A and B are shown apart, each in its own frame.
Chain A
Amino acid sequence: MKLTEKELEIVEIVEKNARIPLDTLAKMTALTVEEAESILKKLEETKVIVQYATIVDWRKIDGHEGVTAMIDVKVTPKRGVGFDEVAERIYRFPEVKSVYLMSGAYDLSVVIEGRSMAEVAHFVSEKLSTLDSVISTTTHFILKKYKHDGTVFDQGDQDRRIVVAP
Chain B
Amino acid sequence: MTRATKTYVSETVSRLKPSGIRRFFDLAASMEGVISLGVGEPDFVTAWSVREACILSLEQGYTSYTANAGLLELRQEISSYLSRKFGLFYRPEGEVLVTVGASQALDLALRAIVNPGDEVIVVEPSFVSYGPLVALAGGVPISVRTNGADQFKLRPQQIEEVVSSRTKALILCSPNNPTGTVLNQEDLAAIARLVEKYDLLVISDEIYAELTYDEPYTSFPAVEGMRERTILVSGFSKGFAMTGWRLGFVAAPEEVLQAMLKIHQYTMMCAPTMAQYGAIEALKNGEHDVDEMRKSYRRRRNYFVQSLNDIGLHCHLPGGAFYAFPSIASTGMASEQFAERLLLEEKVAVVPGSVFGASGEGYVRCSYASSLEQLQEAIKRMKRFLSRL
How would residues 69 to 112 of chain B score, 1 for a CB under 8 Å from any chain A CB and 0 otherwise?
00000000000000000000000000000000000000000000
Q: Which of A24-32, A49-57, A67-75, A101-109 contacts B (4 or more CB under 8 A)?
A: A24-32
- The interface centre, meaning the residue of B21, B28, B36, B177 with most chain A CB atoms within 10 A of its CB, is B36
Residue A164 is within 8 A (CB to CB) of chain B in the complex:
yes
Given contact pairs A24-B372, A166-B19, A166-B127, A161 touches B302 in the complex (Cβ within 8 A): no
Is the beta-carbon distance between A30 and B128 smaller than 8 angstroms?
Answer: no
How would residues 14 to 25 of chain A score, 1 for a CB under 8 Å from any chain B CB and 0 otherwise?
000100100010
Q: Which of B38-46, B154-162, B226-234 contacts A (4 or more CB under 8 A)?
A: B38-46
Q: In the docked arrangement, what's the CA distance between A104 and B364, Å?
A: 60
Cβ < 8 Å to B, chain A residues 94-132? none
Given contact pairs A13-B299, A28-B300, A29-B302, A164 touches B349 in the complex (Cβ within 8 A): yes
Is the beta-carbon distance between A165 and B302 smaller than 8 angstroms?
Answer: no
**Contact check: which of A24, A29, A164 meets B36 at CB < 8 Å?**
A164
CB distance from A39 to the nearest CB of B (A): 15
CB distance from B242 to the nearest CB of A (A): 13
Q: In the docked arrangement, what's the CA distance between A52 and B370, Å?
A: 25
Q: Which residue of B lies closest to A21 (CB)?
A: B376
Q: In the docked arrangement, what's the CA distance between A13 and B349, Å?
A: 27
Residues of A within 8 A of B36 (CB): 159, 161, 163-164
Residues of B within 8 A of A161 (CB): 36, 39, 41, 43
Residue B307 is within 8 A (CB to CB) of chain A in the complex:
yes
Residues of B within 8 A of A24 (CB): 303, 372, 376
Residue B24 is within 8 A (CB to CB) of chain A in the complex:
yes
Q: In the docked arrangement, what's the CA distance between A28 and B300, Å?
A: 6
Residues of B within 8 A of A162 (CB): 25, 29, 39
Residue B351 is within 8 A (CB to CB) of chain A in the complex:
yes
Is the beta-carbon distance between B302 and A27 smaller than 8 angstroms?
Answer: yes
Residue A34 is within 8 A (CB to CB) of chain B in the complex:
no
Is the beta-carbon distance between B376 and A165 smaller than 8 angstroms?
Answer: no
CB distance from A22 to the nearest CB of B (A): 12
Cβ < 8 Å to B, chain A residues 1-15? 9, 12-13
Q: In the docked arrangement, what's the CA distance between A82 and B102, Å?
A: 61
How would residues 332 to 364 of chain B score, 1 for a CB under 8 Å from any chain A CB and 0 otherwise?
000000000000000001010000000000000
Q: Which residue of A lies closest to B29 (CB)?
A: A163
Q: In the docked arrangement, what's the CA distance between A165 and B24, Å?
A: 9
Is the beta-carbon distance between B299 and A163 smaller than 8 angstroms?
Answer: no
How would residues 362 to 373 of chain B score, 1 for a CB under 8 Å from any chain A CB and 0 otherwise?
000000001010
Residue B129 is within 8 A (CB to CB) of chain A in the complex:
yes
Q: In the docked arrangement, what's the CA distance between A20 and B300, Å?
A: 13
Residues of A within 8 A of B283 (CB): none
Given contact pairs A24-B372, A24-B376, A27-B306, A165 touches B299 in the complex (Cβ within 8 A): no
Residue B290 is within 8 A (CB to CB) of chain A in the complex:
no
Given contact pairs A24-B372, A27-B306, A27-B307, A164 touches B300 in the complex (Cβ within 8 A): no
Is the beta-carbon distance between A28 and B21 smaller than 8 angstroms?
Answer: no
Q: In the docked arrangement, what's the CA distance between A34 and B129, Å?
A: 45
Residues of B within 8 A of A29 (CB): 299, 302
Residues of A within 8 A of B303 (CB): 24, 27-28
Q: In the docked arrangement, what's the CA distance between A165 and B178, Å?
A: 12
Q: In the docked arrangement, what's the CA distance between A164 and B372, Å?
A: 19
Residues of B within 8 A of A9 (CB): 299
Q: In the docked arrangement, what's the CA distance between A24 and B299, Å?
A: 10
Give 27 A-B contacts (CB < 8 Å), ordered by A residue: A9-B299, A12-B295, A13-B299, A24-B303, A28-B300, A28-B303, A28-B372, A29-B299, A30-B302, A159-B43, A159-B370, A161-B41, A162-B25, A163-B25, A163-B28, A163-B34, A163-B349, A164-B21, A164-B25, A164-B351, A165-B21, A165-B38, A165-B40, A165-B41, A166-B21, A166-B40, A166-B128
Known pairs A30-B302, A163-B36 / 17 extra A-B pairs, C-beta < 8 Å: A13-B299, A17-B372, A27-B303, A27-B307, A28-B299, A28-B302, A29-B299, A161-B41, A161-B43, A162-B25, A163-B25, A163-B349, A164-B29, A164-B38, A164-B39, A165-B39, A166-B127
Q: B residues near A, CB below 8 A?
A: 19, 21, 24-25, 28-29, 34, 36, 38-41, 43, 127-129, 177, 295, 299-300, 302-303, 306-307, 349, 351, 370, 372, 376
Interchain residue pairs A-B with the least CB separation, the first 8: A164-B38, A164-B25, A28-B299, A163-B28, A27-B303, A28-B303, A27-B306, A163-B36
